[in-house]
Amino acid sequence: MFGLGPTELLIILAIVVLLFGASRIPQVAKSLGKASKEFKKGVEDGEAEAETKTKATKKKRKANKTKV
């Protein structure tokens, strides 16, 4: 996993526990999960919007070509 061995993961976990405290780790994990979910939703919404605009632009170009 990301080229990290078990020793490195334990060190990172110990640092996280020291920074946030054992009682806040579930809250931090929950917040990270929500942020990740919102980010994915935003990316999907952005892609859908871009696709809609692309289709509209193609229709306009096609309509303009048939008029000329």
Domain ranges of the chain: 16-67
Confidence at residue 67, expressed as pLDDT on a 0 to 100 scale: 65
Stated pTM of the model: 0.55
Higher per-residue confidence, 4 vs 32: 32
Average pLDDT over residues 39-61: 89
Q: What are the CA-CA distances from residue 4 to residues 15, 36, 61 (Å)?
A: 15, 22, 52
Q: What angle do CA 39, 44, 49 make, to 5 degrees?
A: 125
Q: Confidence band (pLDDT; 50, 70, 90) for 56?
A: confident
Confidence at residue 1, expressed as pLDDT on a 0 to 100 scale: 47
Chain segment 9-46, per-residue pLDDT in tens: 899 989 988 888 888 888 988 999 999 999 999 999 99
